[in-house]
Amino acid sequence: MELKNHKKIIILGSGPAGYTAAIYSSRANLNPLLITGINKGGQLMNTNEIENWPGDFKKITGPELMNRMHEHSLKFKTEIVYDNIISVEFKKKPFFLLGEYNKYTCDAVIIATGANPRYLGLSSENKFKGKGISTCAVCDGFFYKNKEIAVVGGGNTAIEETLYLSNFVKKIYLIHRRNNFKAEKILIDRLLKIVKTKKVILHLNSTIEDILGNNKGVTHLLIKNKNLKEKKKLKIAVSGLFVAIGYIPNTDIFTDQLKMKDGYIKIKKGTHGNYTQTNIPGVFAAGDVIDHVYRQAITSSASGCMAALDSERYLNSLS
């Protein structure tokens, strides 16, 4: 293995948070190295339609947007390498990162390794990803105006997504495998109010057995109620399914190094709000890897910018 040059700053991840951090760090003359990870471009590579990136009101695909971020980072001379980090040592200085192809050392690091939505695991789910299957109501809900859709899940996210979607879709079938919701009471109360209006139909103790459709996208779901003895499955007509069963932050390699909460990297609170600094000075984190609430391209980019500025201040303090 060739030992790469020591860097002032290394950015892990090539999603909106990583590229934004790279653009800011390069323009601050920090000569950052950005390591893309296996999924170059991040989560947005899986979407064909983005309508909420400010300034891009004409249809733009995820790969187009991420390619532009890549070009933008290169324009300011960010060094970009394709590698996947498999272990890190943050308890000693300089920080050490072991990739599949190379070893790296640096004075500061920005972790922007993102998160991945959890899916149900049905083979039909893969077939309809981006064609009726979504994991983000704020991103895709608008495409289902006045349509009948389903949401699956029983935690805060599922209920929040249902409440959000109920503002513009015609009807929502909320499918949950248990009898009770694992969400905050205030959310459940709001949900039950809408259930009374029949805009939301609950299918509790129920699982999705299959997703049916045609070449245009999802048309029906097959649902099984676990309490009913008969094997008959219910077929409901929907044009979209929002899978809201959680996210898995990409933080396995940091578990014995950094403080975490529910798998997300914990950042310090400061006098002016949240910093992007972790419990280890010099290690910063940005984007979906620290955020289980907003999970948007723009919020990830914004925290990538904050991490770049925070790390610049940190590096200045060393000299």
Ligand X SMILES: Cc1cc2nc3c(=O)[nH]c(=O)nc-3n(C[C@H](O)[C@H](O)[C@H](O)COP(=O)(O)OP(=O)(O)OC[C@H]3O[C@@H](n4cnc5c(N)ncnc54)[C@H](O)[C@@H]3O)c2cc1C
Quick check: 136 binds ligand X (CB under 6 A)?
A: yes
Nearer to ligand X, 63 or 201 (CB): 63
Residue 262 sits at the vertex; the CA angle it makes with 253 and 17, to the nearest 5 degrees, is 60
Q: Site for ligand X (CB under 6 A): how many residues? A: 40
Stretch that binds ligand X, among 31-39, 184-192, 224-232, 270-278 (CB under 6 A): 31-39
Binding of ligand X at residue 117 (CB under 6 A)?
A: yes
Q: Which of 241, 297, 306, 307 binds ligand X (CB under 6 A)?
A: 297
Residues 6+ apart with CB under 8 A from 202: 174, 176, 195
Residue 308: CB atoms within 10 Å: 29
Dist. CA 18–CA 35, nearest whole Å:
9
The residues facing 207 across adjacent strands are 224
- One residue of 15, 32, 153, 282 binding ligand X per CB under 6 A: 15
138 is in an annotated binding site: no
CB of 139 or CB of 174, closer to ligand X: 139
Out of 136, 210, 252, 256, the active site residue is 136
Among 78, 113, 166, 239, binds ligand X (CB under 6 A): 113
| Contact between 44 and ligand X per CB under 6 A | yes
Residue from 83, 106, 107, 140 carrying the catalytic annotation: 140
The nearer residue to ligand X, 129 or 177, going by C-beta atoms, is 129
Instruction: Confirm or reject binding of residue 12 to ligand X (CB under 6 A).
Output: yes
Q: What are phi and psi of 211, to 5 degrees?
A: -115, 125
Asked if 219 is part of the footprint of ligand X (rule: CB under 6 A), the reply reads no
Q: Does 18 bind ligand X (CB under 6 A)?
A: yes
Q: Is 106 a catalytic residue?
A: no
Could you confirm whether 189 is annotated as catalytic? Answer: no
- Kindly state whether residue 7 participates in binding ligand X, applying the rule CB under 6 A: no
SS (H, E, C) the chain: CCECCCEEEEEECCCHHHHHHHHHHHHCCCCCEEECCCCCCHHHHHCCCECCCCCCCCCECHHHHHHHHHHHHHHCCCEEECCCEEEEECCCCCEEEEECCCEEEEEEEEECCCEEECCCCCHHHHHCECCCEECCHHHHHHHHCCCEEEEECCEHHHHHHHHHHCCCCCEEEEECCCCCCECCHHHHHHHHHHHHCCCEEEECCEEEEEEEEECCEEEEEEEEECCCCCCCCEEEECCEEEECCCEEECCHHHCCCCCEECCEECCCEECCEECCECCCCCEEECHHHCCCCCCCHHHHHHHHHHHHHHHHHHHHHHC
> What's the closest the beta carbon of residue 224 comes to ligand X, in angstroms?
26
Choice among 83, 107, 139, 310 that is catalytic: 139
Residue 249 lies near ligand X (rule: CB under 6 A): no
Subset of residues 47 to 106 that bind ligand X, contact rule: CB under 6 A = 47, 50, 52, 84-85
**Cβ at position 126, least distance to ligand X in Å:** 12
Minimum distance of ligand X from residue 287's CB (angstroms): 2
In the residue annotation, 310 being an active-site residue is answered as no
213 part of the interface to ligand X, by CB under 6 A: no
**Comparison of 192 and 252: residue with beta carbon closer to ligand X:** 252
Q: Which residues of the shown chain bind ligand X in the complex (CB under 6 A)? A: 12-18, 35-40, 42-44, 46-47, 50, 52, 84-85, 112-115, 117, 135-136, 139, 250, 253, 287-289, 295-298, 300
Which residues are known to be catalytic? 136, 139-140
* Known binding-site positions for FAD: 36-43, 288-297
